[in-house]
Structures are given as C-alpha cells and as structure tokens.
Amino acid sequence: MRRDSDLIRAILLAIEADERSDVLCIPKIEGYDDDAIDCHTRLLVEKGFLNTYFPDRARGQPWVCIRLTWEGYDFLDNIRDPVIWRAVKRSAKKVGSWSIETLSAVAKAMILSRIDALGLAA
C-alpha cells in the first residue's frame, strides 16, 4: 500500500476534531477503507505524530486511546489551511516525491512567505 498524504492529513484533522482528549477508535474517513485508515494510523504512530496502544488484530482488539502528540499538532498546523495544502501538494507533484519532512518544510516556507508579505517578520 502506498502512503497517501491526503489520508494522513484527514486522519490528523479527524482526531483533532474529536472533543475527547483521547479518541477511542480510529476515525472513519469517507472514501477510504478501514485497512487503509488502519495502515496510515500506524504510520502516524511510527512517525511520532500519534500516541496509542496498538491493538492485537489477531484477537480483534480495537484501537485504544489515540491522541495527537506535540509533533503531530505542529505538522497539522503547517498543513491545516486548505489553500496551503493544495499548494504543498502541487509542489510535491512537481518534485515527483514527498516525505512528511518535505511537506512540512514546503508548508512552513509558504507560511513564512505569508508572514513576510504581511510585514510581520521581525
């Protein structure tokens, strides 16, 4: 299965939108099957963007206590704006590949450019 940056963003947004401090199961994301969501949620845990306890899939255990980490919030804050997100994806497509670090760096550069254009840079 290939990583899907849109699914990664959607999972982070869905978990953040939940009113509970710990989400008790992975969110349903329209247009994605449970296996894809599960795989990408595991990737986000491995990256350190989410904290959780992995379920024992052989025993049918559900996910338990998912929450964003500081790093997860930082990444999400960089890519939250839909306009920036579309521009980041266009940039990644031109380059031909992407990583979380690359997406975040491009988003940060765009945000800093906006800050500079508003005359808010120190």
- 65: part of which helix (H) or strand (E)? strand 64-68
C-alpha 73/C-alpha 75 separation (Å) is 6
Distances in Å between the alpha carbon of 108 and those of 50, 63, 69, 77, 85?
21, 32, 19, 9, 11
Nearest to 12 by CA among 53, 48, 41: 41
The mean of the pLDDT values for the chain is 86
- Sequence-separated (6 or more) residues with CB below 8 Å from residue 64: 24, 52, 53, 55
Classify 5-77 by CATH class. Answer: mainly alpha
Domain residues of the chain, as ranges? 5-77, 81-117
Question: Quick check: pTM over 0.75?
Answer: yes
pLDDT at 12: 94
Angle, CA of 10, 71 and 33, to the nearest 5° = 25
Q: Phi and psi of 24, rounded to 5°?
A: -90, -10
pLDDT in tens, 56-99: 667 766 666 678 999 999 999 999 999 999 999 998 888 887 88
